[in-house]
Amino acid sequence: VQLQASGGGLVQAGGSLRLSCAASGRAFSNYNGGWFRQAPGKEREFVATITMRGGITYYADSVKGRFTISRDNAKSTVALQMNSLKPEDTAVYYCAASSRYSIAAAAYQYWGQGTLVTVSS
C-alpha cells in the first residue's frame, strides 16, 4: 500500500484543517487506518485510528472532541478533520495503514510521507 498525505498548512489557533490520505496499491479496505504526528524534538505519537470499514474509531485524549477521523473505501482515502486547533497541535502528521487495530506505531506496516501542520498563537 502506498500512502500520500496532504492538506497541511499554516492556521491560526482556533482554526480548522482537513488532512487527507490517498492510498494506492493493495485494497485499502483490508487495512485499518491511522494518523500519527511528530512535533520537533519529540517522538511520534498516536492521534487517531479507524477500523477497516469505519465502524470503530479511537482518539488520543489530547485530540478527543476536536479531531475526527473518517474513511471512504470507495475512494481509498482516510481523512482527519481537525477543529479548534491549538499551537501544541503543530507537528508533521503521518497517515498509516495496518492489518491490526492498534494505537502503536510499530503495528503499522505502511506510512505516508507526512504533511506539516503549523498552528500559530
Q: Is residue 25 scored above 90 in pLDDT?
A: no
Start-to-end CA span in the chain (Å): 37
Q: Is residue 42 scored above 90 in pLDDT?
A: yes
Q: What's the residue count for the chain? A: 121
Dump pLDDT digits (tens) for 68-77. 999 999 999 9
Residue in the structure block whose three cell numbers are 502503536? 104
Kindly indicate the confidence band of residue 48, based on its pLDDT and cuts at 50, 70 and 90. Answer: very high
- Determine the average pLDDT of the residues in 17-45: 95
pLDDT of residue 26: 78
- Determine the average pLDDT of the residues in 24-33: 91
Contacts of 17 (CB under 8 A, 6+ apart): 7, 8, 9, 11, 82, 85, 117
pLDDT of residue 75: 95
**Strands, DSSP E only, in 1-121?**
2-6, 9-12, 17-24, 32-38, 45-50, 57-59, 67-72, 77-82, 91-98, 110-111, 115-120
**The three grid cell numbers given for residue 16, joined into one nine-digit string:** 480548522
CB atoms within 10 A of CB 49: 26
**The three grid cell numbers given for residue 7, joined into one nine-digit string:** 492538506
pLDDT of residue 22: 97
Query: How buried is residue 32: exposed, middle or buried, by Cβ count under 10 Å (0-12/13-18/19+)?
Result: buried
